[in-house]
Homo-oligomer: A and B are copies of this chain.
């Protein structure tokens, strides 16, 4: 029988859970009198990190916590385990998902406006059923349409810790150039396109419940993060994930 120690308990818990667990959730499996503090849990996670260094598994951090997963260089073999081919997603679904991801919170109407085409109910239903998106409120306009945002499950599914790990949204070219090309006299007022869009969103939802508003501010922060070059998302070493 192996020793009962903190690292082994954390290891066993993570494998038994079969889903990512946060530090707080890991602490919950201990009785109050023996509950380690978060730093001690982190030490145990680091120890496990090391323990699995030369194995076929790795301990990673995703949005909702820590999980063991198969190292990606072994995925060819593991993929053969299942008869089914991995699911493919339609362009319509991916574009809708991209708009929700980068423009959250966003209504279906706003998605349709940008895509220039109706969004089928099936797509929205699929995204909701997969728990990739959720309704975070309703825009204070006629019809009170639902506003969608992404979830932690979405990030978990795509192996991400946070939204700012997503590839940044492509830049839009300066409209001054555009106007020059077309020989337009006035500078387009939309030159600050992204910023203006966000501001309108914020104004529209300003009348909403304060809770939603608070949420929105959070997303705004993250949205602005997309526009900037990403500093630390790429190849984030695991040791930094424990900070």
Contact = CB atoms under 8 A, between A and B. Distances in A.
Given A2-B54, A2-B55, A57-B15, A77 B9 contact: yes
Contact of A237 (B3, B70, B151, B241): B151
A68 B17 contact: no
Interface residues of A, number: 61
A136 interface: yes
Contact of A16 (B9, B78, B162): B78
A73 B215 CA distance: 43
B18 A18 contact: yes
Interface of A: 1-4, 7-13, 15-18, 21, 25, 28-31, 51, 53-58, 63, 68, 70-71, 73-74, 77-78, 80-81, 134-137, 149, 151-152, 155, 162-163, 211, 214-215, 218, 222, 234-235, 237-242
Given A12-B56, A12-B78, A51-B55, 20 more contacts: A2-B53, A2-B73, A4-B73, A8-B56, A8-B71, A8-B74, A12-B70, A12-B77, A13-B78, A13-B81, A15-B56, A18-B18, A21-B81, A136-B234, A137-B234, A151-B237, A152-B237, A211-B235, A215-B239, A218-B238
25 contacts: A1-B73, A2-B55, A2-B73, A3-B54, A4-B74, A9-B77, A9-B78, A11-B55, A11-B57, A12-B74, A13-B77, A15-B56, A15-B57, A15-B68, A25-B81, A28-B81, A29-B81, A51-B55, A136-B238, A151-B241, A152-B237, A152-B240, A218-B238, A218-B239, A222-B242
